[in-house]
Structure 1
Amino acid sequence: MDLPPFKPYANRSGQSGVPAYALLPSSILLRFADDRYIYLYDDVEPGAADVEAMHERAEAGSGLATYVNQHVRNRYHARFDPPG
């Protein structure tokens, strides 16, 4: 799978565990600082409402990791090894 380019997460609190993300129309890919994998969250898992909330927080640069920890946890659609 070819992955889209990732954007650095703004991390306005300075304490986020998410260094980078990539937005797709109905999904989001996340990298976590303490994990080597890339996680896909989409309209199937965890669902469209959660993905929309994650999109908003990613673009705002605030609250993304907290949202994942409090609402999504391990409900991701797929996990990938990073390229290279």
Structure 2
Amino acid sequence: MKRYKNLEGHSGVTGYEIEPDSIAVQFNHSAVYRYTYNSAGKRIIEKMKQLATAGKGLSTYISQTVKQKFEDKLT
């Protein structure tokens, strides 16, 4: 799991792992959720990858747009 840069300083996201058709996101409460093309759509997953790599805006995007569109909870 790669550490999320959290450039805004108040993100609920602490880490992420990018795969070709998915992204796993770790939140402050240690839960890891996997979002896939199947669960959220390709456009949303690719945007999440961009935000994760940039280290800014991922938590807000998830709470406002992605919401409960995760494939599964890993932990």
TM range (shorter): over 0.9
Give the equivalent residue in structure 2 for 1:47. 41
Larger % of helix: which? 2
Can you give the 5+ residue segments of structure 1 that lack an aligned partner in the other structure? 1-5
TM-score w.r.t. length of structure 2:
0.95
State the TM-score, normalized to the length of structure 1. 0.85
Between 1 and 2, higher relative CO (CA 8 Å, sep ≥ 6) is seen in: 2
1:69 aligns with 2:63: yes
Distance in 1, matches of 2:66 and 2:26, equals 15
The structure that has the greater radius of gyration is 1
Structure 2: tracts of 5 or more residues without a match: none
- Report matched runs for 1:5-84 at 5 Å: 6-34=1-29, 36-81=30-75
What is the RMSD of the two structures over their aligned residues, measured on CA atoms?
0.8
Q: Which runs of 4+ in 1 moved over 4 A?
A: none
Count residues with an aligned counterpart: 75
